[in-house]
Amino acid sequence: MISGATMRKVLVGLILLGLWQISIGADTQTSIDAIVTHLSPPDHTPQPFVERRQNRLLAEPMVLEGEVTLFEDGTLSKVILTPFSERILVTNEFLELERNGKKRRVSLRRDHGARALYVGLRAFLEQDLDTLLTLFEVVAIDPADPWRIELVPVANDAKRFVAKMIITGSGPDITSIRTIQTEQNWQEMLFGFGERP
């Protein structure tokens, strides 16, 4: 016969187990909150980066170096310095490419997918968790430091561009953003003290 004391221990154990599970779930959300809300405020000065890009046409990843800037008005600028010179500006309304002195502008009004990606990235950088969560499913793969967060677009037209994004960082700093379309098609941008390949 099971004693009353044993039953009480089992009951307390079950209660504690339940509490532990709740605290684990709460910890995951807390982790995302903690990571995103503790990011350094956006620095509106140019940030150097090294980017590796791979696709099915390339024999090996392309390596680009340049600077990326998030301006106060929300405009995102990516300036490639090597191996060629190119500048890309992205706003909520358009994407502008400048190369060899020629500019070309494409409206983003009708491209919800591209716009969603821009808005999502900006939300992440500006610690706007609410907006981020409407555009992406956000999972903290590694909540501890160095942390790793995975973002998967919610909208189908955004998924056309990106299957998922993996953002890594340490403390308040982002160290890399990896964008994946397929196994053969991905881009990885390294910041600050990220290792150059």
Partner 1 sequence: MSYRRKIIVPFRVQVIFWTLLSAASILIIATRFEMTVDLGYFLPPPTTDQERVLVDRLGQGPGSRLLFISVPLSIEQDAEAIRVRLKNTILDSKLFSNVFSGDLDISVTSIPADIRLHRYLLADIDLSTTGLRAALLERRADMAIVADDDLLSLMAEDPYLASVTTLEKLAWSDSAGAINWTSPDGLTIYLIAETIAPAFDMAAQKRAVDTINTTVTAILSQKPKLHGVGAYGVELQDVIKTEAQQRSVVAVLAIAIILLLAYRRWQVIWLTALPLSIGALAGLAAVSLLFGRIHGITLAFGFTLFGVAVDYPLHLLSHMRRTRSSQSVASTWPTIRLGAFSTIIAYLALTISGSTGLAQLGVFSATGILVSLYATRSLLPALVSAAPCIPASPKVSSMNPPEFRHTFWIAALLTGVAIVVLLPRSVWNNDLSSMTPIAPEKLLRDRELRLDLGAPDIRYLLTVSAPTQEGVLQKTERLKPLLEHAQAAHWLDRYQLVTALAPSLATQEQRHARIVEAAENKDEMQQVMRDLLLRPEAFQSFLDDLRRAANSSDRVSTSSLKESSLQDLVNSHVYFDGDHWVSIATLVGLHAPELLAKNVAEGIPGATLVDLKGAAESLVENYRMRVLLLLGIAFSGIIVFLYWRVGMGARLLWVCGTLLAAVCLTGAVTAMLLGALSLFSLFAVVLVSGLGLDYALFASRTETDTASRQDTLHALTICASSTLLAFLILGFSSVPILQAIGVTVAIGVSLSFLLTLIGVRQSSISR
Q: Give the binding site for partner 1 (CB under 8 A).
A: 53, 55-60, 62, 64, 80, 84, 86, 88, 94, 97, 99, 103-107, 109-110, 112, 160-162, 179, 181-182, 185, 187
- Give the residue with the Cβ less far from partner 1, 51 or 168: 51
**What torsion do the CA atoms of 158, 161, 167, 172 make, to the nearest 10 degrees?**
-60
35 vs 30, 48, 59, 116, CA distance in Å? 8, 22, 36, 21
Beta carbon of residue 97, minimum distance to partner 1 (angstroms, whole number): 7
Distance CA 41, CA 57 (A): 38
Q: Please say which residue, 8 or 99, places its beta carbon nearer to partner 1.
A: 99
Give the residue with the Cβ less far from partner 1, 145 or 183.
Answer: 183
Instruction: List Cα–Cα distances, 94 to 24, 51, 68, 110, in angstroms.
Output: 42, 23, 17, 10
Beta carbon nearer to partner 1, 36 or 70: 70
Q: Is 132 helix (H, G, I), strand (E, B) or coil?
A: helix
CB of 178 to partner 1, least distance (A): 12
CB of 29 to partner 1, least distance (A): 31
